[in-house]
Structure 1
Amino acid sequence: MSFVMLPFLSSPPASAAESEAPRPLPGELESAELADFDKFDPKRAALVDLALKLGRTHRLNRYLFGSADPEKGGFDCSGSIYFILSQAGIQPARSSAAQYDWIREAGLLTEVPASAGSLEAPVFKKLQPGDLVFWAGTYRPTDGRTNKVTHVQMYLGVEKASGKPVMIGSSDGRSYSGKARCGFGVYDFKVPSRQSKARIIGFGPPPGLEKLQKPAQP
C-alpha cells in the first residue's frame, strides 16, 4: 500500500482465490546495508541494529490489528514499535496516538508542517535513524483519541543498495522496493503526496534512548 491507501484496510479481493493468496512479506536488512551506519550515534545505532535483528527474527509475523505480541502471529503498527522498544529496555506507550503524546510531552517531538510535501523539506533534515515517525489520516479512528495520529514506524536511514530511505514496523500494504508488502519488517520511507489524505505530522526519538547501552537479544 502506498501512502495514499489505508494501512489497516485493504480493497475487497477480486475473487476468493485472491483473498486466500498470502501477501508478500516485507523486506529485511542487515545494519551494514544502511549507508554510514558506522557513523550513527552509538545509542541510535544500537536501537536500529536491534530493530533490524527483530525484523529478521520475526519476519513471518503478519499485520495483526491490536497485537504487540509476536506469539500471536503478528503486530499492528504501534504494536511492532512497542515490541522493539520493550526489547531495548525502553517502556513505551502502546498506541500510535499515545506514543506521539509520549514523545511530545518529553519535549522530543519535531512537528512536520503540512507544507512539507517531500523529503527535501527543511524539517526532514532533523530526521535521524531511530526516530519514530507519525502519520495522520491513514484511516478514520473511532476510539476517541485526542490527536490525529493513526500510524507509526521507525526511521532507519538510507539503504546503501538503492540509495532510498527506509523504515521498519508492521503494516498492511505499504511497499518495499516499490512492491506492496504485509507484516513486520522493512518498508520504503516516503512522504505522502499533497493529494493524499495521509500526511506525516511529526517525528522524534523515544524517551529513554539516551540511557540505552546494549540492546537485549531477540
Structure 2
Amino acid sequence: MAGVILGVTLSVLTSGGLQVWAMPEMTFSDIKPTDWHAGYVMTLSSMDVVRGYSDSTFKPNEIISKAEFIVLAVKARHDDIMPASGEHWAMNYMRKAEALGAIGPGEAAVMKMNASITREEAARILVGTAGEEGLEQPADPLTVFSDMEDVKEANRPYVHQAVAQGWLSGYPGGEFRPANEVTRAEASVMLTKSLGDGAMSRVEEMKAAAARYMETQEAEAEKLRESILETALELQGIPYRRGGSTPAGFDCSGFVTYVLEQHGISLPRSSAAMYRATERISMDELEPGDLVFFQGYQSGPSHVGIYVGNNEFIHAPSSGRTVSFDQVDDPSYWGPRQYGAARIL
C-alpha cells in the first residue's frame, strides 16, 4: 500500500477576532474531513500505519485483503517489519502474526493473501496481535448475536473478546454478520479502536475540529449567499440583451454568470452546461442563492435564475423586459416550465 501519507496538523487561525479552525491537509483525494471514517484514517496515518495509493487516493470503500489487514494490525502494535523479498511482500508480517497466534500455525504459508478478510477473521487478528496484556476479560461468558451459530467455533472467543473490547459491534437487527467482507474504511475504524484511549482521543479531536470547520464553512457560505443576492438585486432594471453578460445588458445565463463571477465563482456560460456542472437539489430544498432552471424555447434547461426566497427568483427574462423578479411556481408560465434546481454553495 505504498503511497502518500496524510498530514494531521490542526491549526487555529484568527480573522478579525474570529477563530477559524483549519482542517488537516487532506492528502487523500477521496476522503473529506467530515467523512465518518476520516478521523480514524487520519489517526492511523499520523502513526504511519496506513498509507494511500500512488494516485493520492485511499479507496475507503474497497474491500481490504487478508494480507493488508494483517500487515496493518502488526504495524499498529509491534515494531515495523521489513517486507519480504523473493516471496509475497507481506510474508514477514504473516509470520509475526503466526507467532502471536493471530493466525494458525502454518497458515501463513497457505493463506490466500489477496482474498478478502471477513469480520470474524478480523476479530481474531485484532485480538491475536493485541496479546493478553491490557485486555480486559469480558464480564459475560458469551457474546450473543442472532447469527452466532454462523461464526466458526474456533473464532467465537475472538469475536466475543473483540466485541467486549468495543473494537467491533453488531448490526441494529442483532446480527454480527461474520462473513461480511471488511472495507478499508471499516478496517481503519477497527484498528484505531483496538489501540485504546490514546488513539480514540485523537479521533475525537479530529471529529471536533471537523465540526468546528463545518460551522465556519456554513457561516462563510451564508455570508456569500447574502452578498450574491445583494449583487443580483443591484442589477434590477438592466435590460435584456441576447448574448449579454455585462451591466450593459444580460441574457439569463449571462446575468447569473456575471453575478457569480463577482464573488469568485465560475460556471459554464449556457444554462444547459450550468445545470450539468452543478449539484442538483429538489425544488423543495431551495434556499436563497440557489439556481432555478426552466425549460423554455427548447427541451432541457434553457433558462436560469437565482432564487431569492419566498418562492421568488430574479432573472433576465426575455427581450423587451429587464432584470426582475418572478414567482417560481407562477401557474401562467414559470410553474409548468420548472426543470430543476441546483446548489452552488
Scaled by the length of structure 1, the TM-score of the pair is 0.51
Task: Please give the per-residue CA displacement for 1:129-158, whole angstroms capped at 9, x wherever unaligned.
Answer: 21111111x113xxxxxx711100111112
Structure with greater helix share of residues: 2
Residue of structure 1 equivalent to 2:284: 125
1:192 Cα deviation (Å)?
A: 5.3
Query: Gapped runs of 5+ residues in structure 2?
Result: 1-217
The match for 1:212 is none
Q: Which has the larger radius of gyration?
A: 2
Task: Return the offset for 1:44.
Answer: 4.7
> CA 1:193–1:79 in structure 2 vs 1: closer, same or farther (change >3 Å)?
same
Secondary structure of 1:171 counterpart: coil
Cα RMSD of the aligned pairs, angstroms, is 2.8
**Counterparts of 2:305 and 2:223 in 1: how far apart (Å)?**
17
Shift in CA distance, 65/198, structure 1 to aligned 2, threshold 3 Å:
farther
Cα distance in 2 for residues equivalent to 1:127 and 1:197: 15
Aligned to 1:67: 244
User: Quick one: distance in 1 between partners of 2:333 and 2:235?
Assistant: 34
Secondary structure at 1:183 match in 2: coil
| 1:46 equivalenced with 2:223 (yes/no) | yes
Does residue 205 of the first structure (1) align with residue 343 of the second (2)?
yes
Aligned-residue offset at 1:125: 2.5
Output the CA distance in 2 between the equivalents of 1:124 and 1:150.
17
Kindly state the Cα deviation for residue 96 of structure 1 after the two structures are TM-superposed. 0.6
- Structure 2 distance, partners of 1:45, 1:183, is 27
**Secondary structure in structure 2 of the residue aligned to 1:172:** coil
Change in Cα spacing, 1:100 to 1:196, as seen in structure 2 (3 Å) is closer
Structure 1 residues 179-217: Cα deviation after superposition (integer angstroms, max 9, x where no partner):
xx82224x13222549989521211112xx3xxxxxxxx
| Aligned 8 A contact 1:64 1:74 in 2 | yes
Counterpart code for 1:77: C
Instruction: Find the counterpart in structure 1 of residue 257 from structure 2.
Output: 82
Q: Which residue, out of 301, 310, 317, partners 1:149?
A: 301
Query: Aligned partners of 2:219, 2:245: CA distance in 1, in Å?
Result: 26
Task: Provide the rounded CA distance (Å) in 2 between the counterparts of 1:77 and 1:157.
Answer: 18
Q: Aligned pairs, how many?
A: 128
Alignment equivalent of 1:184, drawn from 323, 334, 338 = 323
Give the letter for the 2:290 counterpart. Answer: D
Secondary structure of 1:156's aligned partner: strand
Does the Cα contact within 8 Å between 1:132 and 1:203 map onto a contact in 2? yes
Structure 1 residue 109 and structure 2 residue 280: aligned? yes
Q: Which amino acid aligns with 1:167?
A: F
* 2:11 aligned partner: none
Give, in angstroms, the shift of residue 88 of structure 1.
0.9
- Opposite residue 170 of structure 1, the aligned amino acid is A
Q: Does structure 2 retain, via aligned residues, the 8 Å contact 1:44–1:129?
A: no
Whether the 8 Å contact between 2:283 and 2:340 is mirrored in structure 1 is no
Percentage of matched positions with identical amino acids = 30
2:340 is paired with a residue whose SS is strand
For 1:166, the aligned partner's letter is: E
2:328–2:334 CA contact under 8 A, matched in 1? no
Flag the structure with more relative contact order, 1 or 2, with Cα contacts below 8 A and sequence separation at least 6.
1
